[in-house]
Amino acid sequence: MAGSKITKELQRDRKGPLKGVPVSAGFGQGYAYYLREGIGFSEIYFREAGNVETEISRFEEAVNQSEQQVLRVCHYVEAELSMDEMAIFQAYLMFLKDGGLKSKVIANIRGGHVAEYALKEVILNYLKTFARIEDPYIRQRGMDVENIGKRILRNLLGLGDGETGVFERDTILIASSLSPAELIRARQEKLRGIILSKGGETSHVAILSRSFEIPMVINIPGLPEKIRENDFLIMDGNSGLVYHNPSEVIVREYQRLEEERTRQDKSLDAIRTLPAETRDGFTVRLGANIGILSDMLLVERYGVDHIGLYRTEFPFLARDGFPTEEEQASLYRRILEAARGKEVTIRTLDVGGDKFLSYLDYPKEENPYLGWRSIRVSLEMKDVFREQIRAILRASAYGRTKILFPMISSVSEIKEIIAIIKEEKGNLKARGISFDDAMQTGILAEVPAALIILDRLLPYVDFISIGTNDLVQYVLAVDRNNPKVASIYNPLHPAVISLIANAAELCRKYNKPLVICGEAAANIRCAYLYLGMEIEGLSMNAASAPMIKNMIRSANLHDARQALQQVLAMEDSESIGNFLDNVVP
């Protein structure tokens, strides 16, 4: 790939670049901007107002600024969020315009409080009232009040927009870490790249940045000492290098690399509409993993056959409360319509681990990836789960839909789910709502237990998908987000390969299709082994699909099978990696 080599020109830069781990490819150029840390009301103490009128106009100005900021965020997310999702922002605006809020704060100021403290008192009172409300939906609206209160507070303190605001020039966002929700909010036209001091290659924020095609480099500790706000940066999401205030030579070299990359993209473009078929005639179905509606543009651009994984939690993360059945049904319908006849595998909510909903109370856990996560949350919060299942069923009337359940580890879970689907189909029928009665059901095999008892799970499902991101972390006991152990997180570990190869054989025996949808599907060496297992489908970030297709079209199934047999006898990932480097076409 064009950017992955460090040319002599780049090595010659005397200042020397910073080196991190590249997790989302591409080059980004722009000015450094640090994500502002959050501020809360607990830091606001009572002070007397000096001049009451000044305090009132400070407060009114902060409310105006907040309104403008919310309107700008609305503008950026408009294309991707459904009308219903946009309603959150409308609610914010209404609250800002609400005479009640304003008059209460102004009354407090007149009572002698400085604006910040006057605001704090009013917001905390609102929160107390919301906390007493029985209806969970309305109770959660307290979050909206708190968010908007914090926004006004930031403006009062002159801290600007807590959610990054609108970048007027090319910007590289810097933070110690970033949640998927923060990334969704920060994403905008002039965001050219992201640098984090922490993070992991298969963390959800990395996955999301690949899907947004935002270059990302992680694991550069001590960033504030190395990069100042407004420094000009070039960051390379292929090699992990970050140049601050680079010399002319570097800038020119990156322009050249960018042009080379565009040429390579064009050559891959030539195979866009061709099948991923080996020289000896075996075809793999190449799919895309998507998270939001605008990913469908990438699906078109990179020519994939299906959507192998739609991670539904991203729309949940972009909001401040659980979307309703109606809201979800209309969003999923839009995805299916945009798929234009391509099959879409919709995965039910997979929160916990490193994806936390701001409006859901999580237990304090030592090991969130081993805790209350994914299907475990869904099976406990049955109302939310049933709403999502109904929404997916309803959307299935508008396109080829499959439903996928994450993190399954026992037969009893899948039996319980099947019973719920049956009941919800009955409910929809009773309401006269149409859906695809034959919608296929599958499980995401990502907990080792599921692969070990796959023969017992297979009779209950129509298909299997393997999520290598979690499978690798659970098989090797390596946290997918922990930089300290990142070097031993390896999908080429013989234990991982053997488990997947056994699963492929079993699926063939039971005649159930198998798709691999973790990031390893986009790793050319892993993909060659999966080809050798005669896997039906590979699903990945759409931008990697042309490269994998190119490899498959240059390969022979016969050779890939033989390579797999040799690999299955090898001792460690190093020998496997070296061997594959020599045989992968």
Q: Which residues are catalytic?
A: 204, 517
The single-letter DSSP state of residue 535 is -
Residue 517 partner contact from Mg ion, ligand PEP, none using kind-dependent CB cut-offs of 5 to 8 Å: ligand PEP
**In terms of CB distance, is 205 or 391 closer to ligand PEP?**
205
Which residues are bridge partners to 393 per DSSP?
none
| Helical H segments across 159-239, by residue range | 180-186, 204-211, 223-226
Report the DSSP beta bridge partners of residue 193. 172
Q: At CB < 8 A and 24+ separation, what contacts does 365-374 make?
A: 369/470, 369/473, 369/479, 369/480, 373/407, 374/349, 374/350, 374/406, 374/407
Compute how many residues bind ligand PEP; rule: CB under 6 A. Answer: 11
Q: Which is nearer to ligand PEP, 35 or 535 (CB)?
A: 535
C-alpha dist (Å) from residue 230 to 30, 33, 352, 477:
9, 6, 35, 40
Per CB under 6 A, contacts with ligand PEP among 470-489 are 470
- Tell me if 406 sits within 8 A of 350, measured CB to CB: yes
Q: Strand, helix or coil at 177?
A: coil
Query: Strand, helix or coil at 220?
Result: coil
> Does 161 sit near Mg ion (CB under 5 A)?
no
CB of 467 to ligand PEP, least distance (A): 3
**Given candidates 82, 238, 468, 573, which one binds ligand PEP under the rule CB under 6 A?**
468
Residues 494-523 that bind ligand PEP (CB under 6 A): 517-518
* Largest CA-CA distance found in the chain, in angstroms, rounded: 83
Stretch of 61-69, 110-118, 341-349, 459-467 contacting Mg ion, by CB under 5 A = 459-467
Residue closest to ligand PEP (Cβ) = 467
What the block records as the tokens of 420 is 């719920």
Provide the minimum distance between the beta carbon of 551 and Mg ion in the complex, in angstroms, as a whole number: 24
Q: How far apart are CA 558 and CA 569, in angstroms?
A: 18
Residue 507 or residue 557: which is nearer to ligand PEP going by CB? 507
Return the number of the residue (18 or 496) whose C-beta is nearest Mg ion: 496
Short-list 526, 516, 513, CA closest to 563:
526
Picking from 295, 211, 252, 220, the residue whose alpha carbon sits closest to that of residue 29 is 252
Give least dist CB 391 to ligand PEP, A: 19
Give the integer Cα–Cα distance in Å for 414 and 373.
16
Of 180, 315, 467, 537, the residue at the interface with ligand PEP (CB under 6 A) is 467
- Closest distance between ligand PEP and the C-beta of residue 516, in Å? 9
Whole-angstrom Cα distance, residue 193 to residue 276?
31
Interface residues for ligand PEP in 347-406 (CB under 6 A)? 350
Instruction: Give the integer Cα–Cα distance in Å for 343 and 164.
Output: 36
Supply the DSSP string of 238-272, one letter for each residue. Answer: TT-EEEES--HHHHHHHHHHHHHHHHHHHHHHTTT
How far does CA 427 lie from the centroid of its chain?
32
Residues composing the chain:
585
Q: What are the beta bridge partners of residue 113?
A: 48
Contact flag: residue 295 with Mg ion (CB under 5 A): no
- The helix (H) or strand (E) run that includes residue 538 is strand 537-540
DSSP 453-512: THHHHGGG-SEEEE-HHHHHHHHHT--TT-GGGGGG--TTSHHHHHHHHHHHHHHHHHT-
Q: Give the x/- contact pattern for Mg ion in 432-451, rule: CB under 5 A.
A: --------------x-----
Q: Is 368 in the site for Mg ion (CB under 5 A)?
A: no
Least distance between Mg ion and beta carbon 467 (Å) = 4
Q: C-beta of 468: minimal distance to ligand PEP in Å?
A: 5
- What x-and-dash track marks residues 179-208 binding ligand PEP by CB under 6 A? ----------------------------x-
Pick from 320, 470, 536, 559 the residue near Mg ion by CB under 5 A: 470
> Which two three-digit tokens encode residue 307?
């959507």
**236 touches Mg ion (CB under 5 A):** no
Q: Per rule CB under 5 A, is residue 467 in the interface with Mg ion?
A: yes
Q: Which does 481 bind (CB under 5 to 8 A by kind): Mg ion, ligand PEP, none?
A: none
Query: Among 154, 306, 311, 394, which residue sits at the site for ligand PEP (rule: CB under 6 A)?
Result: 311
Binds 311, which of Mg ion, ligand PEP, none (CB < 5 to 8 A, cut-off by type)? ligand PEP
* Run of H or E residues at 96: helix 83-97
**Cα atoms in the Cβ-side hemisphere of radius 13 Å centred on 380:** 11
Q: Which helix (H) or strand (E) holds 173?
A: strand 171-175
Q: Which two tokens stand for residue 531?
A: 């080809």
Here's the x/- map for Mg ion, 478-507, by CB under 5 A: it reads as ------------------------------
Stretch that binds Mg ion, among 100-108, 255-263, 455-463, 469-477 (CB under 5 A): 469-477
- Segment 317 to 356, residues that bind ligand PEP, using CB under 6 A: 350
413 binds Mg ion (CB under 5 A): no
Provide, rounded to whole angstroms, the least separation between the CB of residue 308 and Mg ion. 13
Binding region for Mg ion (CB under 5 A) out of 41-49, 70-78, 195-203, 465-473: 465-473
| 143 versus 520: smaller Cβ distance to ligand PEP | 520
Interaction site with ligand PEP (CB under 6 A): 207, 309, 311, 350, 446, 467-470, 517-518
Interaction site with Mg ion (CB under 5 A): 446, 467, 470
